[in-house]
Amino acid sequence: MQISKCLFPVAGYGTRFLPATKAIPKEMLPILTKPLIQYGVEEAISAGITTMAMVTNKYKSAIQQHFEPHFELEKSISGAKSGLLAEVNEIIQTCDFTYVEQPQMLGLGQAIYTGKNLLGNEDFAVILPDDLCTNSAASVLKQMTGVAAKYPDCCIVAIEEVPLESVNKYGIIAGEELEKGIFRVNNMVEKPAPEQALSNLAIIGRYILTPEIFAVLENTPADKNGEIQITDALLTLAKQGKVIAYQFQGKRFDCGSVQGFLNANNYFAKKAAFNP
Ligand code: G1P
């Protein structure tokens, strides 16, 4: 089944980038000249998705504005510079954008649950735009849709190996390797201490979820910080054999950290220099 909708949980405050993110959503910070959120939307489009569902908050209207036409600006740059808005205008013309406000930040699971009414009763993708992914061939989400087609009724999470000392920043999985780089998950833990980690296979911000996840989220208790974690909800489905972890091809930058954001900018700058 073609996945047609992608959820973007973008309500977070981006505190690691303050003061830059006081008035500007962290998803609008640019990698070269393109905001992070646009990279995420382009990845969704590359996987055949045309509806972008944003879970946002009232301070982040710049995201919505970015995906709306700006006729005055277009008029003022007509001529030599008109191409500068071509990519985003193409996105605006071909995709639908829907929005819902997340009143309180109570974990990724709760953010995804908040988007329920935007999604309907079908499989959907989730992109965390902080995790910027790039690949010379098929995008990470496109690769995942291929895996989803092979494992119907399963949720798919993208994983990569991380250094053991970093496991406490991620959801960590354990599972049985079914084929190269594809695991049936049998256990998963959100942000374990390195000495308690099940493995060094970390979930990165790409998911394909079945609508079953919503009923599970309703019954998933909050963690010790009062947050509802998608990892905990997925564990319920993993115990039924319904979660697949996929070690993707490509590169990921953790643009939620200043270092990762710098690395991404340097990487894309180098690439642009070779291919201006
Ligand atoms: C979230 C998830 C975590 C996942 C990570 C990927 O954490 O809860 O399981 O590994 O995204 O970036 P966050 O980075 O929002 O704290």
110 C-beta closer than 6 A to ligand 1: no
Locate 181 and state its tokens. 């780089």
Asked, for residue 9, whether it belongs to a domain, the answer is: yes
Q: Is 106 inside a domain boundary?
A: yes
For residue 124, the domain's CATH number is: 3.90.550.10
- Residue 276: inside a domain, yes or no? no
Structure tokens, 265: 């900018």
Identify the three-state secondary structure at position 183. Answer: strand
CA 153 – CA 214 distance, rounded (Å): 14
Ligand 1 atom with the smallest distance to the CA of 231 is: 9
Domain membership of residue 28 (yes or no) is: yes
Kind and range of the H or E element at 260?
helix 258-274
In short, whether 204's Cβ falls inside 6 Å of ligand 1 is yes
On whether the CB atoms of residues 100 and 55 are closer than 8 A, the answer is yes
CA of 205 to the centre of ligand 1 (A): 6
Q: Does some domain include residue 232? A: yes
**Number of structural domains, the chain?**
1
- 241: in domain: yes
Q: How far are the Cα atoms of 28, 69, 112, 127, 225 from residue 25, in angstroms, in the given order?
A: 5, 19, 19, 16, 24
Please give the Cα distance from 121 to 66 (Å, whole number). 28
Q: How far is the CA of 202 from the centre of ligand 1 (A)?
A: 9
> Does residue 262 belong to any structural domain of this protein?
yes
Each residue's pLDDT tens digit in the chain (276 positions)?
A: 789 999 999 999 999 999 999 999 999 999 999 999 999 999 999 999 999 999 999 999 999 999 999 989 988 888 778 889 999 999 999 999 999 999 888 999 999 999 999 998 999 999 999 999 999 999 999 999 999 999 999 999 999 999 999 999 999 999 999 999 999 999 999 999 999 999 999 999 999 999 999 999 999 999 999 999 999 999 999 999 999 999 999 999 999 999 999 999 999 999 988 765
Structural domain including 185 reads 5-271
Determine, yes or no, domain membership for 136: yes
Residue whose Cα lies nearest atom 15 of ligand 1: it is 108
203 lines ligand 1 (CB under 6 A): yes
